[in-house]
Amino acid sequence: MNVLVLNCGSSSVKFQLIATDLDLIAKNADRRLARGVIERVGSEALVSFAVEGGAKLRTAEPLRDHRAAIDRILRWVVSPEAKVPGVSSLADIQAVGHRVVHGGEKFTKCVVIDSEVLDGIEDTIELAPLHNPANIKGILAARELLGPGVPQCAVFDTSFHSTLPETAYLYALPYQLYRRYKLRRYGFHGTSYRYVAYRYRQLAGLKPKDVNVVALHLGNGASACAIKGGASVDTSMGLTPLEGLVMGTRGGDIDPSIIEFLHDREGLTLDQIDTLLNKQSGLLGVSGLTNDMRELLEEERENGDRRARLAIDMFCARARKYIGAYLAAMGGADAVVFTGGIGENSAEVRGRILKGLEWMGLSLDAARNKAMTAGKEGEVSAPGSRLKAWVIPTNEELLIARDAVRAVKGAPRRW
Ligand code: AMP
């Protein structure tokens, strides 16, 4: 089966086309055929597509909404110029897998989308007003463009965290707020963590129930997850992706009274405070320069910029604090696993996060760490290190495609 994986953001659409099926999954032989991203949907959009080992397309063109963007993707993947192997018409796309950010308490695994599921995703808009509306637009557009005969599946970022115990998912607020509104920690990056846990157990030769790691997904959005016995038992993002680590434009944990302070002193409305917390804080807010870690590292290296250094140091210190907290909460783990754009690519940041953790049995191998960039996976701790460190590039799209195949074929999901 060829599965189109769609990840619709508020002004972007990412896609991958993946050839997979139950027998290919069993042999780990499924493969990506093409991928791409459209940014700035709604204006002069930036289109960047590539076929694996083949044609590439980079253009700017007006694409007014998600439907136009998905139409552009579909037209390209079936076009003679793209030459995607085995794909020459829309009939060659047999299923769609959508990344949906919030599944609330209702969706704990991948589902084939019908009107009831769509209603359920709409119900969670209240919990993810920035994300779920774009996911719904993507689902409706793909259904219209591919027709009702092509099954569409939803894979939720929150699902992997459905195993959180009450002690981890409840906020210590009046309990009736949880009863009334399902106000609780949900956690995000779940598909990424599921992939990391799956791949770690493959590489380390373990059974799922023997996976005990602290995983750090460090990208523009960043979070930590305590994975015990193969299941998520705590995670740093909460009701929304605002809580926890320092991120590109979000500051993570803050004292909630800061909101009232900002309202009183700066005269900001709740909407403006929301923008400040989501879009103007984190690495960008502290450095005053950029939300991009690579640029900050360069600025620190080339110009010794004090606030660039401070932003990076705060990012690393917060991540280190969560590692310590989760190791205590889990009663120890076998490894710290890094993923996400920063976690996968920056030996410097990994080194700074893990600095000084020798006392808890983690010693980094500087040469291994330095060599582990650009898509490589493996261990970066020194031989004999009691607590190990690993890098595993995430692959959420692969799991979404596999989940979609299993959901469509009624096969149980395994990881
Ligand atoms: P993501 O959201 O997972 O795509 O990650 C984006 C973040 O990864 C940005 O802050 C990038 O600057 C950062 N990043 C990507 N490559 C590198 C690199 N080689 N060194 C440091 N940061 C990187």
Do 10 and 135 lie in a common domain? yes
When pLDDT is averaged across residues 276-293 and rounded to a whole number, the result is 97
Q: Distance between CA atoms of 6 and 152, rounded to whole angstroms?
A: 10
Banded model confidence at residue 130, pLDDT cuts 50, 70, 90: confident
Asked if residue 198 is part of any domain, the answer here is: no
Q: Is residue 182 part of a domain?
A: no
The pLDDT of residue 412: 63
Residues 138 and 230 in one domain: no
Cα 340 to ligand 1 centre (Å)? 8
Q: What are the two backbone dihedrals, phi and then psi, of residue 265, each rounded to the nearest 5 degrees? A: -85, -40
Three-class SS state of 378: strand
Residues 309 and 385 in one domain: yes
Confidence of residue 10 (pLDDT cuts 50, 70, 90): confident
Residue 127's pLDDT is 82
Judged by average pLDDT, the poorest of 118-127, 214-223, 361-370, 384-393 is 118-127
Quote the number of domains for the chain. 2
- Does residue 149 belong to any structural domain of this protein? yes
Together in a domain, 257 and 145: no
Instruction: Supply the pLDDT for residue 50.
Output: 97
- Testing ligand 1's pocket by substitution, the residue of 12, 249, 294 carrying the most ligand atoms inside 8 A of its CB is 294
Q: What angle do CA 51, 133, 18 make, to 5 degrees?
A: 20
Flag whether 166 is in a domain.
Answer: no
326-352 pLDDT, tens digit each = 999 999 999 999 999 999 999 999 999
* C-beta of 297 in contact with ligand 1 (< 6 A): yes
Atom 22, ligand 1: residue with shortest CA distance: 294
**Looking at the structure, do residues 236 and 145 belong to the same domain, yes or no?**
no
Please indicate whether residue 292, judged by its CB atom, sits closer than 6 Å to ligand 1.
yes
The pLDDT, as a whole number, for residue 413 is 57
Taking CA atoms, 391 is separated from 22, 157, 178, 340, 366, in Å, by 28, 21, 36, 10, 13
- Final residue in a domain of this structure, among 124, 156, 188: 156
Task: Tell me the C-alpha distance between 171 and 239, whole Å.
Answer: 9
Q: Do 126 and 214 sit in the same domain of this protein?
A: no
Is residue 404 one of the residues assigned to a domain? Answer: no
Quick one: which atom of ligand 1 is closest to the CA of 295? Answer: 12
Same domain, 212 and 149: no
Mark whether 255 and 326 lie in a shared domain. yes
- Domain around 31: 2-156
CB of 248 shorter than 6 A to ligand 1: yes
**Given this model, what pLDDT does residue 154 score?**
97
12 CA to centre of ligand 1 in angstroms? 18
Say if residues 154 and 191 touch (Cβ distance below 8 Å). Answer: no
Q: What is the pLDDT of residue 414?
A: 52
Same domain for 33 and 113, yes or no, is: yes
What local confidence, expressed as pLDDT, does residue 73 receive?
97
Which of 137, 156, 175 is where one domain is finished?
156
Q: What is the mean pLDDT of residues 152-160?
A: 96
CA 294 to ligand 1 centroid distance, Å: 6
From 130, 156, 182, the end of a domain falls on 156
222 and 305, same domain (yes or no): yes
Q: How far is the CA of 410 from the centre of ligand 1 (A)?
A: 37
Quick check: is 28 in a domain? yes
pLDDT digits (tens, 9 = 90+) for 299-326: 999 999 999 999 999 999 999 999 999 9
Mean pLDDT of 161-184: 97
Q: Is the CB of 219 under 6 A from ligand 1?
A: yes
Kindly state whether residue 324 falls inside one of the protein's structural domains.
Answer: yes
**pLDDT for 128:** 80
Q: Examine residue 299 and state whether it is found in any structural domain, yes or no.
A: yes
pLDDT at 129 (0 to 100): 80
Q: How far apart are CA 313 and CA 74, in angstroms?
A: 43
Q: 0.85 cut: is pTM over it?
A: yes
Q: Which residues are catalytic?
A: 157
Residue 79's domain is classified under what CATH number?
3.30.420.40
Same domain, 299 and 379: yes
Q: What is the bridge-based pairing of β-strands 2-8 and 222-228? A: unpaired
Q: Are residues 345 and 286 in the same domain?
A: yes
